[in-house]
Chain A
């Protein structure tokens, strides 16, 4: 059974700083997704990582996948207040598109 764990659960950052959110998963998963959720809102798809070594970047966010270590990272570069949100990773299993979500990382970027 696939389990997905994120850390940290809460991250308070200063603007301009860099940090990384980690996503570990327990069994083989050949794809990993990152989503963003603003308070009281829906989820927005950020990245889809499909293969070992995959790296994707959008603005100040960069996601990577290491399937051998069963680890994905979301790196934040020079944080700005607009990045404040909860970030979820989710692992895909089986032939369906069924996803198992981590518990999320609440990111608060302080001015």
Chain B
């Protein structure tokens, strides 16, 4: 079955540590996205990529980094510069085009130890 796989489901970060969240899709989608969701709030865009080897900052990119070396994969690194990383992180993908809905993975819940 086609879909988006995020791992791990739960992740704990120590102070000063970088952690990487995995996102893999087998939908053959060109575009991929990372969002952050805080309790009781909507989603905020961290980074997005329309094509391999290219990505753009979203609204809250500070303290995060990404790479897009393969079409299927869009890992997100939460760096030690992100002072408040505790949140629910959602990865999404879509076909290119203005009218294409985004399809979401099951999310990774990141907490500070």
Contact = CB atoms under 8 A, between A and B. Distances in A.
Contacts of A96: 31, 48, 50, 98
A101 B103 contact: no
A95 interface: yes
B100 A97 contact: yes
Interface string B36-72: 0000111111001010000000100000000000000
Interface size class of A (residues with CB under 8 A): 20 to 34
Contacts of A92: 98
Contact of B41 (A42, A50, A104): A104
Interface string A1-43: 0001000000000000000000000000011010100000111
Contact of A42 (B58, B90, B99): B90
A47 B92 CA distance: 16
Contacts of B106: 41-42
A43 B97 CA distance: 20
Interface in A85-99: 88, 90, 92, 95-99
A102 B42 contact: yes
B8 to A, nearest CB: 15
Interface of A: 4, 30-31, 33, 35, 41-45, 48, 50, 88, 90, 92, 95-104
